[in-house]
Amino acid sequence: MSAEGALLFARYAYPPNELGYCGPADAAGLLRRDATADIERRARQFEGAWCYLQFLAETAGIPDPLDVRVVEAYWIGNELLDRADPAALVERMTDRFRGQLGGTWREAATRALAHHSFQVFEVYPWAPMLRSSGHPTALSVLDQCRIRTGVVVDADRDVATVRSRPLCWDGAGLTDGAWREETVRCSAGGRTLIDGLSPGDRVALHWDWVCDVLTDEQTRRIEDLEERRRNALGLLVRTR
């Protein structure tokens, strides 16, 4: 098991686990840097994410689903995504997500991708709900559940002020809203997986949590993969 990959998984998986949306109880266990074996055990209980990690690892011939390359592919994106056949992914998902209603993944045999953006926009029901009703809750969940990017304005050990662009709904598609400042967390209960933030850092955000400091290339991948997903669903309105 890759300790580096386990910690990378924990950085991104902690916020929805804390909220009770996925994974086992006691989310604080994901923030223990010295307990990567326990993080691996917990990761296997994220039934959604683990399905994608297993699929990516098998496709790439990597024995460890928590290999850092596999984990990066799912949360951020990298070349491993290009090796995975979309139809094979949908077939793999058939049993795992059989009870997941309202999404578009069953019709995605030509576009499915083992990336978190696919889970958010095509497996969960929020995007179809937004399209049909413009429901504000659907918009809020899509905005917060996706991995989004931002730029640090100010930070201490516990919280950071970050400039980011929220998703907005114009009645027909999703636009990137105006830049705004939001307050997000870097730690919980005195524990953090971030080694400090500086103004100007590009960061990945999941719900109200700073997951990691990104390179310019990683930032581009996250943004481009979401744009690709929104475009595939006919929800893309370019405002950059």
C-alpha 229/C-alpha 226 separation (Å) is: 5
Whether 105 has a pLDDT exceeding 80, the answer reads yes
Are 82 and 96 in contact, with CB atoms under 8 Å apart?
no
Same domain (yes/no): 115, 175: no
pLDDT at 69: 98
Same domain (yes/no): 153, 219: yes
Same domain (yes/no): 180, 97: no
Same domain (yes/no): 120, 154: no
Is 0.85 surpassed by the pTM of this model?
yes
Ramachandran angles phi, psi of 195, nearest 5°: -90, 35
pLDDT digits (tens, 9 = 90+) for 139-157: 999 999 999 999 999 999 8
Establish if 110 belongs to a structural domain: yes
Same domain (yes/no): 87, 154: no
Same domain (yes/no): 83, 160: no
User: Which tokens sit at 152?
Assistant: 């640090």
> Looking at the 3D structure of the chain, how many domains does it have?
2
Same domain (yes/no): 52, 157: no
> How long is the chain?
240
pLDDT at 236: 65
pLDDT at 235: 78
Q: How many CB atoms lie within 10 A of CB 18?
A: 19
Looking at per-residue pLDDT, the higher value among 101 and 32 belongs to 32
Establish if 23 belongs to a structural domain: yes
Residue 102 banded pLDDT, cuts 50, 70, 90: confident
Residue 30 lies in domain: 3-126
**What average pLDDT score do residues 173-191 get?**
95
Establish if 98 belongs to a structural domain: yes
By three-state DSSP, how is residue 37 classified? helix
pLDDT digits (tens, 9 = 90+) for 160-181: 999 999 999 998 899 999 999 9
